[in-house]
Each structure stands twice: as C-alpha cells, then as structure tokens.
Structure 1
C-alpha cells in the first residue's frame, strides 16, 4: 500500500523489494497539524517515525529553575513560558524516535510539528523484528544514525568554539545545507524557526540573536524575511565562524 512512497524516502531507497514489502505491512500513516505535539519527554516509546513531509522539532525541558509567576500592575498573574532546549530539526526522509525503541526507554525529547506534516509510524515490536530479520533495514537505520551523530558532533564543535555571531553564522550555514534552495538572490532557507528558537539552538538570548541577525543583514550577508533567510554571502559567514 505504501511501498512506492517508502521507496522515495532516502532512508529506504536502497532496500530490497522484499524488505520494503515487509516494512509496508507494519507502516501506519499519520498526519500532524502545525504546532501539534506527537509525544512528550517521558512518554512510553510506542515506535519510531519517518517524516515524509514537513518539519518536526525535538525539544527537551530545561534543567534550569522555571521562572516564577509574576503579578501585573492590575493584579493578574502572568503564566511563565516553560524553558526548553531545541535539540534537533527533523526534515523529510529522516527518522526519529528510534533510540527509545532500541533501548526500551521512555522518550527523552518532545516532538512537535513545525508545519503540517505527513509521517509513517512503525510500532516498536514489529520494528525490532524487522531489524532482526532484514539486515538491509538495520543497515539503513545505522547509516542514518551514524550520519546524525556526525552532524551533531560537527554542530556541537561549531557552537562551542565560537562566540554568538560565529555560532549564528554556523547555524545558518548548517540550515542552508539541509533546507536551502539555490535562487538568483542566494540560498533561500525556510527554517520555520522563531528567533527564540534560533536562540535556543545557539545558546543565547533572543535579543542577542536579533542584534546578530540585524548586523548580518546590514552587512548584506543575509536577507531576513519572517521565518526564512536568504544567505547572500556564504564566504563571509564562513569567515565569521573563525
């Protein structure tokens, strides 16, 4: 039923036909609306997911003390926004939720749809059986997991070894490599992140990120437009990382 669609996803493109047929028997299609939470940190892991269209963000509640409730001049309490860290963005063709499936633990992150999304859900027990019986499926999973670890290590080193403008430049270039589309103006990146979410990813305040992005735009390295950016001078951004 879903075999042809699965074959188009990079994760499953090199599977044997028999493996795709076996996978297809257990795949459950799923759709999410923008802002909808798929699972929360601490939930039981019921299976893994492969994103077909849209974007999903993985966040983790912060260990820092939550802000206290403040009282406005009119005597009304303000409800603080829970602090969280944005750990990863999932794009089309990528899987997520596999670690909890493999180790049997609960979810370590919260998954939220950033756009309207179409996904494939594969329950835990059938997935473990497929991994055991079809080596090309387990190989495909290990390949993507290794790629994710490599990318994460590169991002961590890029964020740790630079100041905030350098970290912001690195993040923009990384988003450009994953989600960018070449245009006459430069690389157009629809990252779908708010400035607060960008700030979470580079470990800075939203105000600082706003100043950095405004500075980059003033230097004509980028052009900002809502939740997207056009990278106009990639060389300057790379130089700023160093």
Structure 2
C-alpha cells in the first residue's frame, strides 16, 4: 500500500516498520477544517484521537464564569486527544483549530484492534502517554509556582529549542500566549517591555531576539527575578 501520510514523522509512530505504518494508514480518516472549527468539546465521547498534519490546534477549558484557560497548542506532527480515548472516557477539554488545518483522525475501535495485534505499537503508546503526563505535571508546576516573568522566560526558551534559533517568530497572538501562560495580555506586555529594557530580549513586532540566554535561563529557573 502506498503511504499518503508522513506517519513516521509523528512521535507516536517513530521507529515502526513500513508494514506497521501501512496497517495504521488503513484506519486513518483525513479531515480538512477551517480556522475556528470545533473539533470536540469537553464532555463529549472520546471516540478517537487526532494528529495535526498541518495547521494548529488549541486545547482549552472554560470555567463556569466563561474564562478560558489554554492547556496546550499543538502543531504539525503532534498527537492530541489520546489519553481519554484509551481510558474509554470523555474528552476532559475542548479543541478548536487556530488556523486552517488538516487533521488525521484515528478511530478508537479500529486503532485498538491494530494495537492488540502489535505489542511494539502498544509500547510506543505507553511511552507517549508517560511523556504527556510528565509535560502536564511540569506545566502545572510552572503555572502554579512561577511568576509571570519565569513562565515567559521558559516559553521563550522552549520556542528557541523548537525553532533552533535565537531569533524567534511568535506564531500565536500575544493574547493566546498570555492565556497559555495563565496571565492577561496587559501583564504579558509589561513583562516583555521589562525584559527588553534589561536587554534580555529585543522585540520587533512578532519577532523576538534572545540577547542574553543565560539570564533567561536563570529567570526561568527562579534563581533570578526580573
């Protein structure tokens, strides 16, 4: 079977054989979504999980008062919605596209059948779920224990590692970044300004240049204050 999706670029399927990837190809449903389309809502049945082939997806929750908290932003090659699927539960959060996106949908019943027939894939899934849990624990710690400057410093260092450059392009509006970091846009703007004044970074619109990486690392660790 000819492959139509780059499954080997997805962390969950890294290292699988061509035969294994072909089995997974057979169960995929490709979905084209516009910007702002709801993928699933909190409380709905988790009948399958997704991978982003192109575009960006926001995972979020809303309080009873209507306040939104962004849990994570997923981009190309990343998996989301997998934890409740394998718990046989409902989605605990909602998902919406931030841009025009192509998603790969993996129905739970069909994927479980593939896993039962392939122990290596089951081990890969366990590794992914463990990594996701570790990521969520770190995020909770960062949001609950760190001040906004430390959270922003950590975020900028994360962008540097993913973009492999000290000159960063903010691919999300500052309002979304603020929500993701558990603050408001006005506070985020003040912290950006203070970092610029102390010559840790240089801000040019949506481009951020890291000038003093060592100082950002100390700020992110909590060893230094802004």
Q: TM-score, normalised by structure 1?
A: 0.81
SS, match of residue 20 in structure 2: helix
1:87-166 to structure 2, matched below 5 A, reads 87-166=71-150
Contact kept, 8 Å, 2:38 with 2:97, in 1: the verdict is yes
Paired residues in the alignment total 220
Work out which of the two has the higher radius of gyration on C-alpha atoms and give 1 or 2. 1
Residue by residue, what CA displacement relative to the aligned partner does 1:166-211 show, whole Å, maximum 9, x if unpaired?
Answer: 222122222333x3242xxx2414331x333222223222211111
SS of match in other structure, 1:150 = helix
CA shift at 1:25, angstroms? 0.9
Corresponding residue for 2:18?
17
Q: Is the 8 A contact 1:41 1:109 kept in 2?
A: yes
For 1:149 and 1:191, the matched residues in 2 are separated by 25
Which deviates more from structure 2 when the two are superposed, residues 111-120 or residues 214-223? 214-223
Q: CA deviation at 1:225?
A: 4.7
Q: Is the 8 A contact 2:57 2:99 kept in 1?
A: yes
CA RMSD after TM alignment: 2.1
Is residue 30 of structure 2 the alignment partner of residue 29 of structure 1?
yes
Q: Where does 1:1-242 land on structure 2 (aligned, <5 Å)? A: 1-2=2-3, 5-63=6-64, 66=65, 82-177=66-161, 179-182=162-165, 186-192=166-172, 194-227=173-206, 229-241=208-220, 242=222
Q: Which runs of 5+ in 1 are unaligned?
A: 67-81
Superposition deviation, residue 128 in structure 1: 1.4
Q: What is the CA distance between 1:3 and its match in structure 2? A: 5.4
Please list every run of 5 or more consecutive structure 2 residues that lacks an aligned counterpart in the other structure.
Answer: none
Q: Do the aligned residues in 1 keep the contact of 2:159 with 2:168 (CA within 8 Å)?
A: no
TM-score (structure 2 length as normaliser): 0.86
